[in-house]
Amino acid sequence: MAPIRVVIEDIEPQVDGGSAAVRRVSGEEVKVEVRIFTDGHDQIDGALLFRFAKSNAWQTTPLLPLGNDLWQARFTVRELGQYEYTVCAWVDAARSWQRDFKKRFAAAQETEVDFVLGAQHAVALALRAPKVDARRLTEWANALTDAKRGREERAALAASAILSDYAHRYPDPQLVLRHEPPLKVEVERERARFSTWYELFPRSTSAMPGVHGTFADCEARLAYVAAMGFDVLYLPPIHPIGVTERKGPNNHIAAAADDVGSPWAIGADAGGHKAVHPQLGTLDDFRRLLTRTEELGMEIALDLAFQCSPDHPYVHEHPEWFLHRPDGSIQYAENPPKKYQDIYPFNFASDAWRELWVELKSIVEYWMAEGVRIFRVDNPHTKPFAFWEWLIAEVRQTRPDVIFLAEAFTRPAAMYRLAKLGFGQSYNYFAWRNTKSELSEYFTELTTAPLSEFFRPNLWPNTPDILTEYLQFGGRAAFMIRLVLAATLGASYGIYGPAFELMEHNAREPGSEEYLDSEKYQLRHWNLERPDSLCDFIARVNGIRREHAPLQTNSDLKFHRIDNDSLLAYSKTNAERSEALLIVVNLDPQHLQAGWVELDLRAIDVVAEQSFQVHDLLSGTRYLWQGARNYVALDPQHAPGHIFRIRHHVRSERDFDYFT
Amino acid sequence: MAPIRVVIEDIEPQVDGGSAAVRRVSGEEVKVEVRIFTDGHDQIDGALLFRFAKSNAWQTTPLLPLGNDLWQARFTVRELGQYEYTVCAWVDAARSWQRDFKKRFAAAQETEVDFVLGAQHAVALALRAPKVDARRLTEWANALTDAKRGREERAALAASAILSDYAHRYPDPQLVLRHEPPLKVEVERERARFSTWYELFPRSTSAMPGVHGTFADCEARLAYVAAMGFDVLYLPPIHPIGVTERKGPNNHIAAAADDVGSPWAIGADAGGHKAVHPQLGTLDDFRRLLTRTEELGMEIALDLAFQCSPDHPYVHEHPEWFLHRPDGSIQYAENPPKKYQDIYPFNFASDAWRELWVELKSIVEYWMAEGVRIFRVDNPHTKPFAFWEWLIAEVRQTRPDVIFLAEAFTRPAAMYRLAKLGFGQSYNYFAWRNTKSELSEYFTELTTAPLSEFFRPNLWPNTPDILTEYLQFGGRAAFMIRLVLAATLGASYGIYGPAFELMEHNAREPGSEEYLDSEKYQLRHWNLERPDSLCDFIARVNGIRREHAPLQTNSDLKFHRIDNDSLLAYSKTNAERSEALLIVVNLDPQHLQAGWVELDLRAIDVVAEQSFQVHDLLSGTRYLWQGARNYVALDPQHAPGHIFRIRHHVRSERDFDYFT
């Protein structure tokens, strides 16, 4: 046989030429587009092949032409784990014949020989078809060349779908090109896409000021967190804390005897990464906390901080897992000239790397066995990429419902690499994107391919490490603005509380993003009853997120023009486009800002002539708008923004009053 | 050893993930950019590797960091044929140590142990270094740990380039990641990039009206063509023309006895693709024409039209190379309902495809043996892609100076595919891009990656098949405008003459792009002495192309804003940026158009405050401009456009007068 004539190019979606997987959650679609074409004028045909990777059987669905050699097909992923997909294409001689036949017949040309050719195509198909279909094809071929039948009748037969349908089903395998190797989709559960996180330090949950909080205190706090509408409760490390070189309040070098230390200095006499800190309670206490969290519709995310305090049992049990200096000391963490003597990093390149990797995996498995399904990974970019790729693949092999969030505040290439190799969610630069151009550029990048195909941002306006200038100096409005932005720009977002809802804004020193009296180094007691607390506002925003599908996805984010640089306007729709939201935020926490928004009406599915209602889900107010240009004014002392639901079919001003 | 830690991503340039080659001409640079990074904070290093594919030895050049994990290196290609390049990268422990040492020393920290560590790095390097370098490294290590030396002296040693230089030269091979397989560069001679084509029908070159022209007549025409500044003379097929089903003037079905037929209906009793048409002369006549053309600094491009007239010797010698219909007839070319009974296409998928392919290759080799080095391929998109890929690779294996131009007026995917698999130049959509937005969009696409890396457009304002509406109705100015556009937007362009310079503009019928009394079917006699001929204007434009490097490349094309949609402004510079041209064209052949151009001054290397001279190379006029906004007025009856050379260093109006 001569070489295959059809060409397959530019399959989308595709990450790094197929070496990394596209990410989806269960129930989502993969819309595949591909350029297929051949030389000359022959008809071509093609199919999308897909399968859950653990199953053997490929499912197929026809590719449909979009024009200009671009073809499309879709499939929906359901199972958690890996799917594969690829494309095949072929030159279709039978359909080429059919197309040409119709033109010849329409031009009243002689077609007797063409009937014979058509019959030959059918006979060739019949040889590849199962019995029943083969019989139908043979009958069709006989009828086509039956001189007793009228020319019109045979022409109608020739043009019928019988031939083209079978041609699609039984292409000549020698003409079929298949793209190899297949491309991959990594499928996670829905929470990998849509989640609302709350971080708290369990040791700061005691009702009594100055008393070390426990898992039981934490349990008592759950209802408060759930009432605000969060669904993931993230706890900093809950393990025994080292004593040697322990840091005091505000990261002072010398800790006093009763200083509690940093939870990230993991390991002490009481144990390491598989133990719980005695002051928090017992493993049973933790188990009860887990259960109670689930009962409230939330789940717990644990912190994976793969590093040790000098007192960690690993340090004497496995000295080979650490780097030793020529003077015999163990290499502590450093960012010269800064020294972190309370932290020993693992040496991932030691000769005993295999044993180390296996042990670290066993830590994850230990907490998985306790029922934990979400891990927030501390500084993954300071451990080898190959380690994470291996660890996450191993875990997801047996438990594909486990989600990993990468805390990699580093340069984009490394941040994105971690997402490619397995992290289902990622911290990102949101905290430092404040202006209209910063936000619109960054979120356009995040929500369009290639990034949108594998990188799921989790937006945090604050963390225990990050108190931005904007929050330090913007007052209450700044916190509300950043919350609305996080909650509506990202399908996943989180806050570090109660610092956030209580608007904690004092930095350790000028120019620092560290909190004064940070919980990282000391207990804090929070007055949750403060009348200015943002907890009701947060509950309202999270309620809107739960009720409105566009806020549960990062697809179809579209920025709209607005003639005031302090106002940001963007719309979101859900995949089915059953609903559209328009969000307008005043980025200036100090002043009222007003302007004219110029809507891209197609993005929100509004017909140009039609008037439509915008219903602010935050305030409950409704406005009747018409056309692209509409006026917005936002006073940050009253409202940080609008979260408008677009309501169509408002036909007259009179209807407006009756509209609910 | 633990897995390699460094990551290599996004190597550019790259075509289709490396499956196709990047195209360059001899003497050009390949600027390679790549993202390399690792986990953590270690220093990394990397190198670009390249080689002429036929040589065994790789050459290396260091990658230099551009910031944000992007690194760059360049190499220049000289040999014709294929080059390979790739990138390797590694974590550099020695330089990491050196960087950290400097910080520790600057912070006045204890460094005695660090000296020992540095010495260990040097000893490890010495084990991989040749003797001389190993000795220097050992000496350096000894000095570093020599307690008799002062701390300052040893610190200076520690920071010296000795260690970093050797670290770059002798990386630990176990840590080196190398991108595989290497990427490819296809290197052609300069004319593949910069060429100026003239197409003529030899049979229309007789001095006597009504007499069939010959190679000898053609020879007499050479000086005329050379004087206009062309360097490629492209001849439609010069082979014997079929008699059966021959077409008459204006493509009439029935030819009269003395009708000359279409040169693309190849093959008759006198021979096929390896013979010359007896009415044109002998093979010796053709050889003389070749020689004479070369003497004038031009070369001949032959037409490769792989199809046969029914009288071609192949038809009876190799009936197996054609498709036979059930009634025993050979399948002629068709585009139903249109029939081309005078043309038999080859059946590239016949069982005898291998023999057919080899024979077709022998046709190319036959004319190569006569000295032909450029082939214009007729309708390559109607033959299998695999055939061209094989044919061109085979030819270039022995004669990498051969250039193929693809005449594939088809959809973009197929057009671009042909360039990827070997065609060095391509016809394109230029003829139908007339408006400012059409031209600026299309040429921005053509001159930026990925297209610019493999697709070299050859711009034809007309061909024997294409007489655009713009030329039919735009008068003399239209021809001048399209010539200036072709000659300045493309490093390669061509015209079909003398139809072009004599402004032949009558279509066969309304709505048709076919010429009335087309030379494709009949002899024409052209009056080259007509006073309105554009030949002097063309000579002027081609002269400018020869003298100004920016017009010899497609790189750095930049469109500038101008507040009149009938005016198009664009600049070009050469790779070295030693010269910048600004071209302004009036796209309206009927009316004077004026407007303000708003220059992107960086694109033409002008400093904002500086005044500069624009020197119109077409008219010789000079203007003193300042800043971005400048006024242009163009009357198409006098000048289709300006080709401004930007002249800097005009410091005052006074200087202006003295400037030459």
Tokens of B280: 């044109």
Contacts of A116 in chain B (CB under 8 A): 326-327
CA distances from A353 to A182, A312, A331, B171 (A): 32, 18, 17, 21
Mutate to test the interface with A, among B6, B35, B37, B39 (most CBs of A within 10 A): B39
**How far apart are alpha carbons B407 and B379 in whole angstroms?**
5
Contacts of B326 in chain A (CB under 8 A): 113, 116-117, 120
Tokens of A24: 């989806």
Q: Predicted confidence band at B254 (pLDDT cuts at 50, 70, 90)?
A: confident
pLDDT at B38: 98
pLDDT digits (tens, 9 = 90+) for B27-70: 999 999 999 999 999 999 999 999 999 998 999 999 999 999 99
pLDDT at B660: 38
Is B2 in contact with A327 (Cβ distance < 8 A)? no
Amino acid at B232: V
Of the given ranges (A61-70, A310-319, A650-659, B514-523), which has the lowest mean pLDDT?
A: A650-659
Q: Residues 6 or more apart from A599 whose CB is under 8 A from it?
A: A560, A569, A571, A582, A606, A628, A629, A630
Of the given ranges (A133-147, B232-246, B602-616, B629-643), which has the lowest mean pLDDT?
A: B602-616
**How far apart are alpha carbons B460 and B471 in whole angstroms?**
12
Amino acid at A623: Y
pLDDT at A607: 87
Contacts of A326 in chain B (CB under 8 A): 113, 116-117, 120
pLDDT at A652: 47
A215-227 and A283-295 helices, crossing angle to 10°: 10
Give phi and psi for B480, each to the nearest 5.
Answer: -65, -40
Is the pLDDT reported for residue A581 higher than 90? Answer: yes
pLDDT digits (tens, 9 = 90+) for A96-116: 999 999 999 999 999 999 999
Q: pTM higher than 0.90 for the full model?
A: yes
Is the pLDDT reported for residue A659 higher than 50? Answer: no
**How far apart are alpha carbons A208 and B376 in whole angstroms?**
89
pLDDT digits (tens, 9 = 90+) for B115-168: 999 999 999 999 999 999 999 999 999 999 999 999 999 999 999 999 999 999
Residue range B247-267: average pLDDT? 95
Is the pLDDT reported for residue B577 higher than 90? Answer: no
Contacts of B99 in chain A (CB under 8 A): 336
CA Rg value for chain A: 31
CA distances from B155 to B111, B152, B395 (A): 9, 5, 61
**How far apart are alpha carbons B154 and B162 in whole angstroms?**
13
- The number of beta carbons lying within 10 Å of the beta carbon of residue A57 is 6
pLDDT at A656: 46
**How far apart are alpha carbons B397 and B393 in whole angstroms?**
6
Give phi and psi for B642, each to the nearest 5.
Answer: -110, 140
Is A413 in contact with B37 (Cβ distance < 8 A)? yes
pLDDT at B142: 96
pLDDT at A657: 45
Residue range B247-251: average pLDDT? 96
Residue A90 in 3-state DSSP? strand
Q: Residues 6 or more apart from A295 whose CB is under 8 A from it?
A: none
Question: Is residue B600 packed enough to be buried (19+ CB in 10 Å), middle (13-18) or exposed (0-12)?
Answer: middle
Q: Residues 6 or more apart from B600 whose CB is under 8 A from it?
A: B558, B560, B561, B571, B628
Helix (H) or strand (E) holding B59: strand B59-62
Is B100 in contact with A334 (Cβ distance < 8 A)? yes
Of the given ranges (A238-247, B205-214, B604-613, B635-644), which has the lowest mean pLDDT?
A: B604-613
**How far apart are alpha carbons B474 and B106 in whole angstroms?**
75
A382 touches chain B (CB under 8 A): yes
Is A337 in contact with B104 (Cβ distance < 8 A)? yes
Residues 581..620 of A with a Cβ closer than 8 Å to B: which?
none
**How far apart are alpha carbons B266 and B275 in whole angstroms?**
10
pLDDT digits (tens, 9 = 90+) for B313-357: 999 999 999 999 999 999 999 999 999 999 999 999 999 999 999
Tokens of B409: 């007026």
**How far apart are alpha carbons A268 and A312 in whole angstroms?**
5
Contacts of A41 in chain B (CB under 8 A): 335, 382
On the question of a cis peptide bond just before residue B412, with omega within 30 degrees of 0, the verdict is: no
pLDDT at B649: 56
B68 touches chain A (CB under 8 A): yes
Answer for the pair B608, B601: CB distance below 8 angstroms, yes or no.
yes
CA distances from B408 to B137, B184, B369, B417, B521 (A): 61, 24, 26, 10, 22
State how far Cα A331 lies from the chain centre.
37
Residue range B389-394: average pLDDT? 98
Helices assigned H by DSSP within B129-160:
131-144, 151-158
pLDDT at A649: 56
Give phi and psi for A55, each to the nearest 5.
Answer: -90, 160
pLDDT digits (tens, 9 = 90+) for B82-127: 999 999 999 999 999 999 999 999 999 999 999 999 999 999 999 9
End-to-end CA distance of chain A: 69
- The number of beta carbons lying within 10 Å of the beta carbon of residue B511 is 7
Q: What is the largest CA-CA distance in chain A?
A: 107
**How far apart are alpha carbons A196 and B318 in whole angstroms?**
74
Percent of the residues in chain A that have a pLDDT greater than 70, as a whole number: 98
Nearest to residue A506, comparing CAs of A473, A532, A535?
A: A473
Nearest to residue A20, comparing CAs of A316, A409, A405, A421?
A: A421
Residues 92..111 of B with a Cβ closer than 8 Å to A: which?
99-100, 103-104, 106-107, 109
Residue range A353-381: average pLDDT? 98
**How far apart are alpha carbons B404 and B411 in whole angstroms?**
19
C-alpha torsion sign, points A341, A343, A348, A352: positive
Is A35 in contact with B109 (Cβ distance < 8 A)? no
Helix (H) or strand (E) holding B244: none
CA distances from A473 to A347, A598, B329 (A): 41, 31, 88
B335 touches chain A (CB under 8 A): yes
**How far apart are alpha carbons A406 and A404 in whole angstroms?**
6
**How far apart are alpha carbons B506 and B519 in whole angstroms?**
13
Known catalytic residue at A42: no
Using the structure block, give the residue that is written with the tokens 């290196």. Answer: B73
pLDDT digits (tens, 9 = 90+) for A174-201: 999 999 999 999 999 999 999 999 999 9
Helix (H) or strand (E) holding B398: helix B385-398
- The number of beta carbons lying within 10 Å of the beta carbon of residue A196 is 26
Question: Is residue B556 packed enough to be buried (19+ CB in 10 Å), middle (13-18) or exposed (0-12)?
Answer: middle
Residue A154 in 3-state DSSP? helix
Residue A309 in 3-state DSSP? coil
End-to-end CA distance of chain B: 69
Is the pLDDT reported for residue B654 higher than 60? Answer: no
Residues of B annotated as catalytic are 378, 407
Residue range A436-451: average pLDDT? 97
Q: What's chain B's average pLDDT?
A: 96
Residues 521..560 of B with a Cβ closer than 8 Å to A: which?
none
- The number of beta carbons lying within 10 Å of the beta carbon of residue A51 is 18
A411 touches chain B (CB under 8 A): yes
Using the structure block, give the residue that is written with the tokens 């369009």. Answer: A448
Q: Residues 6 or more apart from B369 whose CB is under 8 A from it?
A: none
Is the pLDDT reported for residue A577 higher than 90? Answer: no
pLDDT at A655: 45
Residue A69 in 3-state DSSP? coil
On the question of a cis peptide bond just before residue B450, with omega within 30 degrees of 0, the verdict is: yes
Is A117 in contact with B326 (Cβ distance < 8 A)? yes
